[in-house]
Amino acid sequence: MKALATFLVLLNYFTRCHGWICTIAPEHFAATQIDAGNGMVVMTDKNSNAFFLSDSSWSKLGSVALKHVSVGSAGVWGIDRDNTVYKFAAVMLFVSSGLSLIQVDAGEGQVVGVTSQNSIHCLNGSSASSIEKEGVLNWNTISGALMYISCGPLGCWGVNSAQKIYFGKVSPGTCGISSWSQVDGVAVKVEVGSDGRVFVVNQSGNVFERANISKALPQGTALSQISFCVIIKHVTYDLGRLWLLTDAGGILNCI
């Protein structure tokens, strides 16, 4: 109760710190990771339970213990404690064996992810959408080394172990990549919205948005800080809503 009271006090000040209007999302104060895409919001908690947001409450997402979950145009994908990859289909989670990942992103047709050795892998859109049963998938290896990756309509963004930020164009159909280009700034996580907007979180829990992204300039021009008054652990964006996970495990919904 003390943690909740502190969180509510912070939120009262929080909404006056920046241009976003934030409210507390349906309560789940053990959240550890959150993702939004394709009109859906999913999250995992400290006990590796996965949930999706249904109206004003969180509903359990399958029965498999997942430490990471992602949702997007490629569906709902997750990773368990053994780094096994799953796809949610109907009411069951089908395991997709063949590769161990620590993070996965289902944002733009293809599915991308990274391993504990920071190698980058991609499952093309056709393969990702056609999975109906357990089997070995044909993952493509992408050049480079990243510890976190996220893709949107204008390209993919990632951060490496040195917290440097990179942008590259990955084909959803072939998983081919043009090249990785480093952009200014440092971050530990990056998330791309379905409309191409890009948000990052740095090691200090500060949030930034990449400014001036367009089809003509998909990498944008600079990072612009969004000054929140609490430490942010994770950020995700979809359909005009910015979802924030605080270091206390609380979730905020901002417009």
pLDDT tens string 138-187 = 899 999 999 999 999 999 999 999 999 999 999 999 999 989 999 999 99
Q: Among candidates 152, 142, 160, 145, which has minimal Cα distance to 210?
A: 152
Q: Which amino acid is at 154?
A: L
**C-alpha distance across the termini of the chain, in Å:** 27
CB atoms within 10 A of CB 83: 16
How far is the C-alpha of 250 from the C-alpha of 224, rounded, in Å? 24
Domain extents for the chain? 28-254
Q: Among candidates 233, 251, 246, 255, which has minimal Cα distance to 57?
A: 251
Q: Is the model's pLDDT at 203 over the cut of 70?
A: yes
Q: Is the model's pLDDT at 95 over the cut of 80?
A: no
Domain 28-254 has CATH 2.30.30.40: no
Decide: helix, strand or coil at residue 68.
strand
Q: Which helix (H) or strand (E) holds 128?
A: helix 125-129
For residues 210-239, give the mean pLDDT.
Answer: 96
Average per-residue pLDDT in the chain? 90
User: Confidence class of residue 49 from pLDDT cuts 50, 70 and 90?
Assistant: very high
User: Confidence class of residue 13 from pLDDT cuts 50, 70 and 90?
Assistant: very low
Asked if 21 and 12 count as a contact pair (C-beta separation under 8 A), the reply is: no
